[in-house]
Amino acid sequence: MTAPATAPSSSLGGQLAAPRSWRVPIVLAVVAVLSLIWFVVFGKDDPTRFTWSDPGDVLYLDPTPANPRVLGIVLGVLSLAAAAASFRWAWRRRPVPVWLSLIVGIAFLVSLVAWVGAGGQITVESLLTSTVSLSTAIVLGALAGVIGERVGVVNIAIEAQLLGGAFTAAVVATTTHSYELALVAAMITGAAISAVLAWFAITFLVDQVVVGVVLIALVTAITNFFYQQVLADNSAQFNDPGTLPRLAIPGLADIPVIGPVLFDQRLTVYLMFLLVPFVWFMLYKTRWGLRVRALGEHPLAADTVGIKVNRSRFWTVTLAGLIAGLGGASLTIGYAGAFVQEMSAGKGFIALAAVILGRWNPWYAALAALLFGFATSFRIWAGGAGAAIPSDLIAMTPYLVTIIAVALVAGRVVAPKASGKPYIKS
């Protein structure tokens, strides 16, 4: 601009400055103090043994005994420090970085695990491995959801895509004895369900939420029907796929803890690991991604530069369905080894929550999905650990953590502006 002199940004007597946003620091401080009270004041002194490897492992690490109270003090102080740091950020009117919140969150979870496991042992490896297994479908579903919303279509039907993918993967793997075919079939199923959603939403302008809910009901009914009529009585013929083999990556798989969690997994998990950065890269670094994001923000503007709005939206949502379908396969041939009625069990909805909690960003959405997976894994483990207090109560805490996490990110609205809005041309 050419203005030689501009008005002072603040007028005389303007001691008034922008109000600072204290929400994040306050939440962090509350969590830190709460964890100090819970894990220190009401702390336990029976040592918890963190075991890192199985006795038969190539690289064996001795279990680490830890006093939960001492651990609670250390981590609680760390959290307090992080909260204090976040106050500094807020004081300078800058957004508190996500990693500070992550530190506090993880410190809380570790203290909680140590507290629950007091007097016993915690097999860190199995806790984390099961977190990964239980998160796979959620992560993949969330990735599909992120792409859909980025291009402007709310994919409520992730649940249906997971369920459909799980079903086809099991049946195809059993009948053809080919896991490759089963994966492909599951992905196509996911894409097909997405395509129906996109078609109705884009061509007939049916409300996206309504189509999504109808699709979920439909796919649930169909898979229930076939399960009861066909699969249940002929499981050897149709529903006995087994699971994908574990592919241990030589060398890396032997690293304690990290090895089994990251490098001794099934194909579906590896694909998940690869897809998160891949989707991020595609969305933010490629021509395709730029157009996708443009369509989700301002479809008319995209139209005026020659991008075919509805066609692109349709194909993008359909392709994203491939990923959700893969997530479905991860439930059967990637984990359970057979199809069970309604086995997606709300994971699609949790994936949707992960999309929002993850601010429509593949990395954050995957992190959010992992948090949900951990919550489930923790509940299973805590139930078995035989803690003194009711396990249901303990099982609640990860959800509490989630709600806190939501409180931290809520308010910063970055949703794609045109998400869920149909584009109607004159």
By CB under 8 A, the residues from 339 to 378 that bind other proteins are none
Alpha-carbon distance 393 to 402, whole Å? Answer: 15
Q: Which token pair is 38?
A: 């819970």
* SS3 state of residue 45: coil
Contact with other proteins (CB under 8 A) among 23, 49, 298, 359: 298
Of the candidate residues 44, 150, 266, 293, the single one contacting other proteins (CB under 8 A): 293
Residue choice 13, 56, 245, 250 for contact with other proteins (CB under 8 A): 13
Residue 1 vs 236, nearer CB to other proteins: 1
Let me know: does 230 contact 238? Beta carbons within 8 Å: yes
C-alpha–C-alpha distance, residues 87 and 90, integer Å: 5
In the block, residue with structure tokens 């190539």: 58
Query: What span, in angstroms and rounded, lies between the C-alpha atoms of 315 and 300?
Result: 18
Determine if 308 is a binding residue for other proteins (CB under 8 A): yes
Query: Is the distance from CB of 293 to CB of 150 less than 8 angstroms?
Result: yes
Stretch that binds other proteins, among 17-25, 45-53, 137-145, 248-256 (CB under 8 A): 17-25
Minimum CB distance to other proteins smaller for 246 or for 308: 308
Q: Which stretch binds other proteins (CB under 8 A): 144-152, 163-171, 247-255, 306-314?
A: 306-314
d(CA 344, CA 364): 22
Regarding 311 and contact with other proteins (CB under 8 A), the answer is no
Region of 6-14, 147-155, 331-339, 380-388 interacting with other proteins (CB under 8 A)? 6-14
Dist CA 420 CA 153 (whole Å): 5
Q: In this chain, which of 27, 32, 113, 302 binds other proteins, going by CB under 8 A?
A: 302
Instruction: Return the C-alpha torsion angle 219, 224, 230, 232, nearest 10.
Output: 140
Residues 404-423 that bind other proteins (CB under 8 A): 414, 417
The least CB distance from residue 360 to other proteins, in Å, is 11
The contact pattern for other proteins, residues 216-245, with x = CB under 8 A and - = no contact, is ------------------------------
Write the Ramachandran bin of 13: left for phi over 0, alpha for psi from -120 to 50, otherwise beta: left
Q: Which two tokens mark 234?
A: 């002929």
Binder of other proteins out of 297, 400, 406, 421 (CB under 8 A):
297
State phi, psi for 215 to the nearest 5 degrees: -60, -40
Stretch that binds other proteins, among 74-82, 166-174, 192-200, 291-299 (CB under 8 A): 291-299
**Buried/exposed 383-417: b ≥16 CB within 10 Å, e otherwise:** eebebeeebeebbebbeebbebbeebbeeeeebbe
424 binds other proteins (CB under 8 A): no
Owner of token pair 């001795």 = 62
Which of residues 70, 106, 192, 307 is near other proteins by CB under 8 A? 307
Backbone φ and ψ for 121, nearest 5 degrees, come out as -125, 155
CB of 4 to other proteins, least distance (A): 6
Site string for other proteins, 83-102 (x = CB under 8 A): ----------x---------
> Which of residues 100, 283, 294, 366 is near other proteins by CB under 8 A?
294
d(CA 168, CA 339): 9
Tell me if 286 contacts other proteins by CB under 8 A.
Answer: yes
Whose CA is closest to 405, among 362, 372, 361, 380?
372
Task: Tell me which residues touch other proteins (CB under 8 A).
Answer: 1-7, 9-11, 13-14, 16-21, 93, 285-288, 290-291, 293-294, 297-298, 300-308, 414, 417, 426
